[in-house]
Structure 1
Amino acid sequence: MSSDKSVRLAAGDVELTVRPDLGCRIESLRIGGTEVLRQGEHYGSFPMVPWCGRIEHGEFRNGGTKYQMPLNSPPHAIHGTGRDTVWKRVRTGGGESGHAEAHFTYDLAEPWPYTGRVTQIFELSESALTLTMGVETYGDSFPAQVGWHPWFLRNLGGEDVRLGFTPAWQEERGDDHLPTGRRIDPLPGPWDDCFGMPDGVDVTLTWPEQLELKVTSRSEWVVVYDEQEAAVCVEPQSGPPNGLNTLPRLVTPVDPLELATTWSWRRL
């Protein structure tokens, strides 16, 4: 641990720094001394939980009850509450055999209306990082989503990154930035859009002559955001934006929600 506020994991010449006090976001990922994430307390890579992307007008229903989330991206609520929460480190280990890991949790609290626990696990090796996130309930069932929002640097000092993926469809985006419910053929970028990959998320970022990094997940949903000059975001998530309303996945006492994503890389 490099300071009271950061947890550092290392495997070979790969270094990962996590900030549990800043929403358990990845502050830094350095591969062979090269930083691959945009720096700053709003960037790095943060968890999206208990929802991903936007909720229309911040409102969702569970059965006949309607709930209102704070409109932190008016007129909508965006990216959950976990990124604004202080998480607790519960375990770290490894580091001697080219592998290191750390486990963090926090208890769901207001403004989220249900009680439960969120867990996030980081597993680092010299060639990959696996992130696993889970949500369990302490009582009532509720809809939830999990995902990750990494800000990969567009440029590592050479040519700009190239993005490679073959989605089956794109969720049509309305003027309100929410999916309309129509699936369309993928359009050329730039994007702030959700794509369907029913065989699992598989997106390759290539910085020519420097690094290739693959983002994979068993989830079929990924949001790609590349409208900013500094970074490109590839966001695997358990459901589409506004999914608490359009495609709710219930967390129940016998069926918690869990999702993993792996970033694997090779030097070019």
Structure 2
Amino acid sequence: MNHDETDAAGSGGLVELAAGRLRLLLAPQVGGAIAALHEQRGGERLDWLRPASAQDVARGDPFAMGSFPLLPWCNRIRDSRARFAGRDIAIAATHPARPSGKHALHGLGWLRPWQVAEAGPAHARLTLAFEADDQWPWAFEASQRFELDPAGLRCTLALTNRDTAPMPAGIGHHPYFAHRPGTRLRSATAAMWRSDAEVMPVALEPTAEVARLREGVLLSELDLDNNFAGWQREARIEWPDVARTLVLAAEAPLDFFVLYCPRGGGHFCAEPVSQCTDAINLAGRHGPEEIGGAVLAPGETLAGSWTLRSA
């Protein structure tokens, strides 16, 4: 990997944190995203998350970042439309040319610049204020607190309803990891949401993939873009070629897990989230253990933390 091309450290507007051998680069203007998280081992660099390039940061491409926040909902809303408590949600489709692109994707936070509220050598807090509009008719505030130590990263998300009416809410993060030769993933869940051709959930089942992930599986054997319920809030990633194991862990309400692992792809996503895809439209047919999600009263906050640590 040519780190002159893939390292965004020289780009303007970034916040850099350091602890021991770890370095974290944040891109507040690119959806409050993580641009890079890596460690120095001697003269070598090992990326924990897929690194963004300086060019990716300059053009503000959130899809090229190492991870970005998901809020005020996680992943997709079917047909970009929903109705809640008498208010209509009508989101502009993110990628209408794709089969799944007509479904509103990943929330609103990743598409807006965040502000740096505080920053120190090993911690930072980013904030976002959103005014209600024709797409999302609730005002809200959000924050991300990043805390780096020599063993890893802790990120705490918070979403507060600043409107006068209850608001549906979901939070999460969207980390991209390198799919290196021999990469293995182990994570315990109860069931997987099977998806249709447009990557929307249609049935929750204890599939064969659930059993394989519980025991640990080579990612090269999977081809998934699915939500998992009953997550035990931990995923173990093993990269045998570089002798590194990372543990992704989360706290309530991040009780759901998304695995995006395209066959033959150079990266995969293991996402801690508080709701499954399209939870707002599925709420009338499924319970909270199956779809998650929350309803925030005016002034109420939904918050959760996830960590990434070396094992």
Q: Which residue of 2 aligns with 1:52?
A: 74
Match of 1:141 in 2: 166
1:5 is aligned to: 13
Q: 2:259 aligns with which of 213, 216, 224?
A: 224
Q: Of 76, 86, 103, which aligns to 1:76? A: 103
Q: Where in structure 1 do 4 or more consecutive aligned residues deviate above 3 Å?
A: 1-4
Residue identity opposite 1:127 in structure 2? A
In the alignment, does 2:269 pair up with 1:257?
no
Return the letter of the residue paired with 1:261.
Answer: W
The question of 1:196 aligning with 2:229 is answered yes
Deviation (angstroms), 1:137: 1.5
Q: Which residue of 2 aligns with 1:90?
A: 117
Deviation digits for residues 145-179 of structure 1 (CA, Å, limit 9, x no counterpart): 11111110112xxx332111122111121233111
Q: Deviations over 1:78-132 (max 9, x none)?
A: 1011111110000112x3xxxx110010111344321110111101111121111
Contact 1:130 1:261 in 2 (8 A): yes
For 1:194, give the aligned amino acid: N
Q: Supply the distance in 2 between the matched residues of 1:64 and 1:26 (Cα, whole angstroms).
A: 36
1:186–1:171 Cα change, 3 Å: farther
- Residues 195-214 of structure 1: CA distance to partner in whole angstroms, max 9, x if unpaired? 1235x321111001521111
- Structure 2 counterpart of 1:238: 274
Equivalent in 39, 42, 47 of residue 35 of structure 1 = 47
SS at match of 1:22: coil
Q: Secondary structure at the match of 1:50?
A: coil
8 A Cα contact 1:167 1:186, kept in partner: no
Task: State the AA in 1 paired with 2:25.
Answer: T
Q: What amino acid is the match of 2:19?
A: A
State yes or no: 1:151 paired with 2:168: no
Query: Residue 49 of structure 1: CA displacement?
Result: 1.1
Offset of residue 39 of structure 1? 3.1
Q: Which has the higher helix share?
A: 2
- Deviation per CA, 1:35-86: give whole Å up to 9, x if none: 2322333231111111111100001221122221111133211101111111
* Amino acid across the alignment from 1:120: Q
The CA deviation at 1:143 is 0.4
Contact 2:91-2:136 within 8 A present in 1 as well: yes
Following superposition, the deviation at residue 254 of structure 1 comes to 4.8
Are 2:91 and 1:66 equivalent residues in the alignment?
Answer: no
Secondary structure, counterpart of 2:188 in structure 1: coil
Contact 2:72 2:109 in 1 (8 A): yes
Given that residues 169 and 186 in structure 1 are in contact (C-alpha distance below 8 angstroms), is that contact kept between their aligned partners in structure 2? Answer: no
- Structure 2 segments unaligned to the other structure (5+ residues): 1-8, 57-62, 96-100, 213-221, 284-292
TM-score normalised according to structure 1 size = 0.89
Alignment RMSD, CA only?
1.9
Which AA in structure 2 matches 1:246?
A: L
Give the conservation status (yes or no) of the 8 Å contact 1:169–1:197: yes
How many residues in Structure 1 have an aligned counterpart in Structure 2? 257
How far apart, CA to CA, are the structure 2 residues paired with 1:3 and 1:75? 33
SS in 2 for 1:45: coil
Q: Distance in 2 between matches of 1:3 and 1:175?
A: 38
Unaligned runs of 5+ in 1: none
Distance 1:141 1:154 in 2: 41
**What percent identity do the matched residue pairs reach?**
26
**Conserved? CA contact 1:28–1:39, under 8 Å:** yes
Deviation at 1:220, TM superposition (A): 1.8
Which residue does the alignment assign to 1:125?
A: 149
Q: Retained in 1: the 8 A contact 2:88–2:137?
A: no
Amino acid at match of 1:258: A
What SS is found at the alignment partner of 1:83? helix
Match 2:126 to one of 104, 110, 118:
104
